[in-house]
Amino acid sequence: MEVDYRTITAYHEAGHAVIAISVGRPIHKISIIPNKTRLGACEVKKGRFQPSQDWLEDEILILFAGVAAEAKLTGRYDWKGAGQDLRSIRQLTLSRAGDITRAEKLERRLLSKTEHLLESETAWKTVVQIAATLLEKETISGRNAMHLFNMNR
């Protein structure tokens, strides 16, 4: 499926936002306005609105969510485009696993978990709505993203 980069970016950032909200992390804002280093951004606030069982896993799920949402839309993973996220994921998985083999195994498991989370009706419907809003307005508040998430519950 051929999709323009702006739409892919909107889904990427919406994926980050929806999984962040799902694991209890508040969002400051989401944008598809490019800068020198990225095509968009999902700014996750510090702190939580619900307790975490595993903060490191939550962070990895949030990081994987962008490329996973893109792949759900386009049918392919753009690992090169998600390079920054992947470097952060590798740092986190290595800190937990200790060696590259176990880190890669952990990454496969958490990517699968991210894909599963995005499959829920609430999550995917919210990704689609956030992406559509981003394509219209370019930037939305975390409060707006949370409102869309809660509407789809």
| Residues recognised as catalytic | 13
Find, among 135, 104, 132, 129, the residue nearest to 21 by Cα: 129
Record the tokens describing residue 47, joined without a space: 């702190």
Q: What does the DSSP assignment read for 47-88?
A: S-SS--S-HHHHHHHHHHHHHHHHHHHHSS--TTTTHHHHHH
Find, among 65, 70, 68, the residue nearest to 5 by Cα: 70
Q: What is the dihedral of CA 38, 41, 46, 49, to 10 degrees?
A: -150
